[in-house]
Amino acid sequence: MADIAGKPVGSGHARIPLLGFGTAVFPFTASETMKESILHAIKLGYRHIDAAAIYNSEPPVGEAIAEALGLGLIKSRAELFITSKLWCTDAHPDLVLPALRRTLKNLGLEYLDLYLIHFPVSLKPGSCEVPFEEKDLLPLDFKSVWEAMEECQSLGLSKLIGVSNFSCKKLQDLLVTAKISPAVNQVEMNPLWQQKKLREFCNGKGIHVTAYSPLGGRGTLWGTNRVLDCKVLQEIAQAKGKTVAQICLRWALEQDVSILVKSFNKERIEENLEILDWKLSPEESQKIDDIEQQRGFLAPMFVSEHGPYKSLEDFWDGEL
């Protein structure tokens, strides 16, 4: 079993595993394949499972955890680090706690290790689904929604709370009134979108960064092969006798972040673990550092002339 126990996050003694298993598959539908893949990942040593209300992945994650316990793959639920996310339709002060209770029921758990605000935007309350209509876009009440998240932690329903897809400015806005700082900001990060400014900001505020789409989001609506087709990464991989995916994951690991990888292919699930017993050379790291940068996930669905964000610049605060 791989040693991916992780690093301390938040003000307590919680540790977030360095390598996590993602469950976002579009279209967002639960499946037996998903459950079996999660179970296989746990068997191999993955201990962080990342779910979200919008992914419809909470029930299969819960089933996989129950089966892992039944099979003796883990001795207790405490061995796992389970993350889920508050969808935008529930990003309203009075809906946060009910949404988390629903998530826990879906998972069959008494608590989460980490609960995240999925995006810095709200939607008109209603069914949890995408796509949604532009007219349903609403501004997020940072202060009140975060107070409800803090209540979730105070009640012990989530050990840690955090955010996802937040820019430096939006984090700063949140921190102005927060009594509990976000433990984590989960964001897109890979060699072609390295998030240097955001990581520096988060590091200065004691906020841990978790990287999603470390291979470029292939298989998502917005993802491309830009990362895996990058010539610099291909050359490093060939010289090192590794796959491009392994180079990307090792690079991210060396940036002192935790990583979420998503694959339902058993060989690749195992291959993604094989990044712990070797390092990139300073020259290789510099070559990656010099790669031209471009955000992959632009989130245009949250931009509308009638909504709170009129442009992509607005939504990302210029971090493009």
pLDDT per residue as tens digits for the range 93-144? 999 999 999 999 999 999 999 999 999 999 999 888 888 999 999 999 999 9
The whole-number pLDDT of residue 217 equals 76
pTM for this one? 0.94
CA distance 158 to 113: 5
Q: What would the DSSP string read from start to end of 228-288?
A: TT-HHHHHHHHHHT--HHHHHHHHHHTTT-EEEE----HHHHHHTTTTSS----HHHHHHH
- Reply yes or no on whether 55 is catalytic: yes
How many beta carbons lie within 10 A of that of residue 304, not counting itself?
Answer: 16
pLDDT per residue as tens digits for the range 195-249? 999 999 999 999 999 999 999 877 666 667 899 999 999 999 999 999 999 999 9
pLDDT per residue as tens digits for the range 162-184? 999 999 999 999 999 999 999 99
Element (H, E) at 15: strand 15-16
User: Looking at 55, 111, 212, 309, which residue is catalytic?
Assistant: 55
Task: Identify the three-state secondary structure at position 24.
Answer: coil
